[in-house]
């Protein structure tokens, strides 16, 4: 996996992921030139990265965003995108962009009868669990996740047999059938608070071993955490040594570096970090720091969060270090969304067994109850 160096001029130096140009596999409708030009300007301004997402690229994707937005209106579709999706999706066509916790609530509360989830498979499944009567479309059926694909319902059943009566908390990055075997679901915004509130002196936590260790540290002396051995292949790339080396380099030239990390990183990284939080919280904290002049920031997470900070910060911000791109998250492109909106293939429609939905929903409802 490629670590991509960042800096304030990331776009100019092509050090962030390149803009995904249309592959030509799905031909959008033909729009008048003035409409394309107007849409290209809207995209150019919203994305705000003039070298990587220049007017030529914005013009080439405009027919796609125009037709997608038109179809959304005609078919009354609510389009949800995770923060790690590319900027053309985030700023071009999404109605709601955030991290998994906020998006699971957005899917639940959306008045539309059809939801299109631009992200990896488990998130679209989560939308179906919280809104079983809605049609949930997932444009990229092959977009998986190393965490959700690394654990099965049978693995959880085995753990429950080995530790009878111990509550099981699962990270939201799991399939519907894994959620169905757990007592409560958690996200990167609420995992510490929820695990703390579970009854007893033990908790089984699946599947992220790094988050599990973080919970164990937080609950030291009050609860034992039984941890499954999964990991996010993106956040596992970062190490405490790399962070220390960046901090030393910056300190030697008098730069006060603020390190912001996602809790899917290992303990060494979290120990060296000034702030730990979900992608949404990392973004807010980076922008808050920039607003008070503390703008030399290292964001330890997937590249999408850095893209959003670069696009949305109203203040000068200097992103240092590197980000890592998730190959699963970046599978979805505008053309896949357009095709799924026009006429979805059967595998682009999320179908889950009713019994599994019922049991998985309990673990999500428990999360909403304990988190709020
Ligand atoms: S970033 Fe990690 S946790 Fe998120 S989808 Fe990619 S592999 Fe899964």
- Fold of the domain built from segment(s) 235-324: Rossmann fold (3.40.50)
- Check residue 328 and give its pLDDT: 95
Of 126, 145, 323, the one to substitute when testing ligand 1's pocket (max ligand atoms within 8 A of C-beta) is: 145
Check if 324 has its Cβ closer than 6 Å to any atom of ligand 1: no
* Contact by Cβ (8 Å): 222, 159: no
- State the number of CA atoms in the 13 A half-sphere of 232 facing the CB: 26
In DSSP terms, which residues pair with 230 in a beta bridge?
208
Q: Per-residue pLDDT for 165 more than 90?
A: yes
207-227 residue pLDDT tens: 999 999 999 999 999 999 999
Q: Per-residue pLDDT for 6 more than 70?
A: no
Residue 121: its H or E element: helix 121-130
Check if 236 has its Cβ closer than 6 Å to any atom of ligand 1: no
* Closest C-alpha to ligand 1, atom 8: 145
Ligand 1 mean position, distance from CA 262 (Å)? 11
Residue with the bigger pLDDT between 127 and 98: it is 127
Lookup result for tokens 């990896």 = 120
Check if 72 has its Cβ closer than 6 Å to any atom of ligand 1: no
- Check residue 17 and give its pLDDT: 66
Of 1, 120, 282, 331, the one to substitute when testing ligand 1's pocket (max ligand atoms within 8 A of C-beta) is: 120
Cα four-point dihedral sign 330, 334, 336, 340:
positive
Check if 147 has its Cβ closer than 6 Å to any atom of ligand 1: yes
Ligand 1 mean position, distance from CA 82 (Å)? 11
**Nearest atom (ligand 1) to Cα of 235:** 2
- Check residue 24 and give its pLDDT: 79
Check if 143 has its Cβ closer than 6 Å to any atom of ligand 1: no
Check if 363 has its Cβ closer than 6 Å to any atom of ligand 1: no
Banded model confidence at residue 13, pLDDT cuts 50, 70, 90: very low
* Closest C-alpha to ligand 1, atom 3: 232
Check if 146 has its Cβ closer than 6 Å to any atom of ligand 1: yes
Q: Per-residue pLDDT for 14 more than 50?
A: no
- Check residue 3 and give its pLDDT: 46
Q: Per-residue pLDDT for 8 more than 60?
A: no
- Check residue 357 and give its pLDDT: 97
Say yes or no: do domains 19-143+329-348 and 148-232 share a fold: yes
**Mean of the per-residue pLDDT values of the chain:** 92
Task: Tell me the whole-structure pTM to 2 decimals.
Answer: 0.91
CA pair distance 316, 308, nearest whole angstrom: 14
For the chain, the maximum distance between any two Cα atoms, rounded to a whole number of angstroms, is 67
* Closest C-alpha to ligand 1, atom 5: 145
In CATH, 19-143+329-348 is 3.40.47.10:
no
The hierarchical CATH code for the domain 148-232 is 3.40.50.10800
Ligand 1 mean position, distance from CA 6 (Å)? 20
Mean pLDDT over 21-35 rounds to 88
263-312 residue pLDDT tens: 999 999 999 999 999 988 999 999 999 999 999 999 999 999 998 998 89
87-96 residue pLDDT tens: 999 999 999 9
Give backbone dihedrals phi and psi of 3, rounded to 5 degrees, phi first. -85, 130
Per domain, the residue ranges of the chain are 19-143+329-348, 148-232, 235-324
Ligand 1 mean position, distance from CA 146 (Å)? 6
Reading the block at residue 132, the tokens are: 């079983």
């Amino acid at each position: 996996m490629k670590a991509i160096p960042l800096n304030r001029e990331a776009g100019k130096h092509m050090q962030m992921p390149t803009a995904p140009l249309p592959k030509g596999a799905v031909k959008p409708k033909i729009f008048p030139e003035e409409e394309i030009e107007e849409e290209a300007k809207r995209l150019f301004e919203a994305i705000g990265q003039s070298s990587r997402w220049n007017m030529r690229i914005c013009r080439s994707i405009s027919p796609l965003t125009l037709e997608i937005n038109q179809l959304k209106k005609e078919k009354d579709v609510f389009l949800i995108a995770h923060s790690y999706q590319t900027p053309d999706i985030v700023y071009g066509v999404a109605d709601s962009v955030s991290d998994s916790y906020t998006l699971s609530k957005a899917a639940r509360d959306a008045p539309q009868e059809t939801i299109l989830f631009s992200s990896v498979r488990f998130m679209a499944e989560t939308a179906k669990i919280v809104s079983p009567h809605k049609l949930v479309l997932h444009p990229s059926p092959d977009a998986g996740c190393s965490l959700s694909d690394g654990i099965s319902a049978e693995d959880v059943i085995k753990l429950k047999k080995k530790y009878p009566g111990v509550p099981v908390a699962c990270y939201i990055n799991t399939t519907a059938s894994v959620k169905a075997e757990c007592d409560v679901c958690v996200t990167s915004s609420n995992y510490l608070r929820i695990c703390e509130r579970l009854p007893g002196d033990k908790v089984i936590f699946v599947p992220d071993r790094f988050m599990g260790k973080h919970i164990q540290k937080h609950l030291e002396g009050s609860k034992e955490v039984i941890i499954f051995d999964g990991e996010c292949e993106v956040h596992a790339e970062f190490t405490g040594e790399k962070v220390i080396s960046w901090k030393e380099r910056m300190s030697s030239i008098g730069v006060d570096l603020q390190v912001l990390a996602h809790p899917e990183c290992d303990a060494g990284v979290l120990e060296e970090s000034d702030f730990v939080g979900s992608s949404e919280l990392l973004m807010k904290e980076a922008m808050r720091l920039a607003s008070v002049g503390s703008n030399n920031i290292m964001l330890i997470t997937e590249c999408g969060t850095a893209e959003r900070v670069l696009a949305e910060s109203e203040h000068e911000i200097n992103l240092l270090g590197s980000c890592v791109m998730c190959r699963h998250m970046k599978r979805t492109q505008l053309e896949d969304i357009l095709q799924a909106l026009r006429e979805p293939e059967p595998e682009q429609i999320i179908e889950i067994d009713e019994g599994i939905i019922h049991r998985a929903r309990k673990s999500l409802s428990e999360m909403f109850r304990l988190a709020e």
